[in-house]
Structure 1
Amino acid sequence: MVIAGPPEYMGKRRWFILAIFVCLLAFSCGRELMAEHKHADNHLTAYNHSLATILVEYASAVYMSDLTQLFTWTCPRCSGLTAGFDIIELLVDVEHCLQSFVGVAKDLNAIVIAFRGTQEHSIQNWIEDLYWKQLDINYPGMPDAMVHHGFYSAYHNTTIRPGILNAVERAKKYYGDLNIIVTGHSMGGAMAAFCGLDLVVNTEAKNVQVMTFGQPRVGNAAFASYYSQLVPNTIRVTNDHDIVPHLPPYYRYFPQKTYHHFPREVWLHNIGVGSLVYEVEKVCDGSGEDPDCSRSVAGNSIADHLVYFGVELMCETWRSCGIVMDSLAKEYGKMDVKGNIVFSRDSSILRMKTETNIGGDRM
């Protein structure tokens, strides 16, 4: 025999059971979301401060306009943490105002590819132009993925890409199957991202790492998702109130139709007051648009865009695409009818270079 309690007791009992069920359901869903977020982050690279301080010097050196000093790695920015770097090819696309180099860093046991950022008459004009940039081209082989035509074309539709791929192939021939590290600042960071993706997708390169500084957004959320799967070993370093990582604008109410950063961001910023101020390197989440990182502040500083880790990331002068070279550099350079130049070390020099043992990882 079942003894039923008073009606009010039975009603409370049913509400109690329902409350327990709702709590269990919520707890289960919460655990699942947390597990998925953690799983996504596990596919992203760990941040290495020492590597960042090395690569920012390569991103600075590629701005040098004296091509002789840059090609021979004797420029004022070609010492310090990058001393002993062997340039294989220096590429100057005068027509589109682009510059890049490929070489081998023995201490990193890697091929390093660096892209120069914007070299316009006025960086202010370039930044203002970014406010109005639209997603205007579909990325090949990625459904729904759209990117910025200008950044895509700067890498894919100029003399830069064939020169890069040729240099990587030559480097592997003479130095072995080394890791590849791609870096750049500002627009050079956007080109570095497209280069890293290109190497993985179209040349099936292994162990490709990308680290950029002050990089703008380059595509939508679909592109960011594809990119993070294909090139998970990527770090975007942003600096305090740097304006460029905020551009082109991100509109959180239209996630599929707006520009979206890919992960992982590392945000450099200062905390504290008065004499108790120190720099923090915050490793952000796997969303690419962590609201607690650079998006938590107003992106309104050009000064923060031009200096990372105390290293200047700009040209020596504000001349547009100005270059300097002497007869020594011309001996190694080939110029096409449009004035674009490729400086290459010949095979005999590369053979001599490979006699030096490559090793001794600095990281």
Structure 2
Amino acid sequence: MTFPATLSVKDDHKLPPSSISGDLYGDLVYYFKYATSAYSPVCPRPNGNSLVIEISNPLTDIQGFIARDKTRKEIVVALRGSASVADVLMDASIVLVPFVSPGVQLPPESRVHSGFLVAWDSISPEVLLAVGSQLATNEDHAVVTTGHSLGGSLALLAAVSLQQNFKNAQIRTYSYGAPRSGNKIFSDYVNAKFGDNACRVVHGNDGVPTAIPIELGYHHHGVEYWQHTSPPSNETTLKCDPEGEDPNGSASIPSQGVNLAHATYFGILVGTPFCL
């Protein structure tokens, strides 16, 4: 299926999206394998690497894991997307609230999705403790957060929290099919602190990333990588404007909510485990 891209330049300062390199495309696929593995109840070898700890909160039903990749020298936090009624209730709690979380202090008017914040705060002490322990014994390791859908929004909040709590650590974040997670002040903060280290991937006409409208005060962070046509490849994946809300990217297609495009990224069915 082909999803036509609108490549007209609507603002003088914005350039049309451009295709990405093969190396970057490989990274996007690589970290998606962690994100899809987070749906597995048991993942002994995430992406072929060492499992540090499984993450789980029975009240919010948030789950995932932390892995250590000795080859890439990375500590990876992978968080699962929506898979239960509790998750859906979190998704539906769309009031924008201050980012109140251990060790976090953002610009005063910064606001985030209240349901996502409750979900993140339900596991944040466990994640911060485990990542801190890993960094203490692996000082040369970077930290990567990743997730699909709800998990992608949680990965973003996790990255901000980790960056605030471990200021000397290199931190990157990857989200796949994630909805808008905060207001423009929050997204501007993310863009300023992370830049190209915050990667937001959208597949075709996946309606979840645009399901929460900007009219409610929400705003995407950048950089969006829009895999706009099939088959998936670096040539069919476009790097959009780093501001976050590029009218030439996935936002050019009206939201259809949860659809088939949301369930598959890079030809991989969401939920496929890479755990051996």
Band the TM-score falls in, shorter-chain normalisation: 0.7 to 0.9
* Other-structure match for 1:261: 220
Structure 1 residue identity aligned to 2:132: E
Alignment of 1:39-58 (within 5 A): 48-58=24-34
Out of 105, 110, 113, the position equivalent to 1:145 is 110
2:19 matched to 1:62?
A: no
Paired with 2:77 and 2:262, the residues of 1 have a C-alpha distance of: 21
* Correspondence 1:184-195 to 2 at 5 A: 184-195=147-158
1:191 alignment partner AA = L
CA 1:138–1:196 in 2, change beyond 3 Å: closer, same or farther?
closer
**Residue number in structure 1 paired with 2:126:** 163
Q: Are residues 1:246 and 2:222 paired?
A: no
1:292 aligned partner: 248
Conservation of the 8 A alpha-carbon contact between 1:47 and 1:235: no
Q: Deviations over 1:216-242 (max 9, x none)?
A: 101111111112112221000001111
Following superposition, the deviation at residue 58 of structure 1 comes to 0.6
Corresponding residue SS for 1:88: strand
2:186 is aligned, of 220, 223, 237, to: 223
Say whether residues 1:103 and 2:91 are aligned partners: no
**What is the rounded CA distance, in whole Å, between the counterparts of 2:138 and 2:166 in structure 1?**
18
Q: Which amino acid aligns with 2:64?
A: S
Q: CA RMSD in A?
A: 2.7
- Deviation per CA, 1:287-333: give whole Å up to 9, x if none: 201001101112215211111012222389xxxxxxxxxxxxxxxxx
Instruction: Name the structure 1 match of 2:7.
Output: none
1: distance between equivalents of 2:168 and 2:124? 15
Against the structure 1 CA distance between its residues 50 and 91, is the aligned structure 2 distance closer, same or farther, given a 3 Å change threshold? same
Structure having the larger proportion of residues in helix: 1
- What code does the residue aligned with 2:267 have? G
8 Å CA contact 1:182–1:195 kept in 2: the answer is yes
1:282 aligns with 2:238: yes
Secondary structure class of the residue paired with 1:108: coil
2:226 and 2:153 map into 1 onto residues whose CA distance is: 17
2:266 matches 1:309:
yes
- Shift of the 315–57 alpha-carbon distance from structure 1 to 2, 3 Å rule, reads closer
SS of equivalent residue, structure 1 residue 48: helix
CA distance 1:313–1:137, change in 2 (3 Å): same
Alignment of 1:110-149 (within 5 A): 110-121=74-85, 130=92, 133-137=94-98, 140-149=105-114
Decide which of 144, 159, 170 is 1:207's aligned counterpart: 170
Change (3 A) 1:315 1:248: farther
2:264, 2:39 → 1: CA distance? 13
1:141 Cα deviation after fit: 3.3
Contact kept? 1:213, 1:238, Cα under 8 Å:
yes
CA distance in 1, matches of 2:67, 2:260: 30
The aligned amino acid for 1:181 is V
Distance 1:228 1:222 in 2: 10
- C-alpha deviations, 1:136-174, integer Å up to 9, x for none? 445643122111111011112x1x111111211222233
Aligned-residue offset at 1:107: 2.8
Structure 1 runs not aligned, ≥5 long = 1-32, 39-45, 252-256, 272-276, 317-363
The residue type paired with residue 144 of structure 2 is I
1:192, 1:210 within 8 Å by CA — same for their partners in 2?
yes
Q: Which 4+ stretches in 1 moved above 6 angstroms?
A: none
1:193-221 deviation digits (Å, cap 9, x = unpaired): 01111111122142100011011101111
Q: Is the 8 A contact 1:196 1:231 kept in 2?
A: no
- Give the total of aligned pairs: 248
**2:93 is aligned with 1:93:** no
Native 8 Å contact 1:115 1:192 kept in 2: yes
Q: Take 1:172 and 1:278, find their aligned partners in 2: how far apart are those partners?
A: 35
Counterpart CA distance in 2 for 1:288 and 1:63 is 27
TM-score w.r.t. length of structure 1: 0.63
Q: TM-score, normalised by structure 2?
A: 0.81
Larger relative contact order (C-alpha < 8 A, sep ≥ 6)?
2
Closer, same or farther in 2 for the Cα pair 1:86/1:52, shift >3 Å? Answer: same
Helix, strand or coil at the partner of 1:266? strand
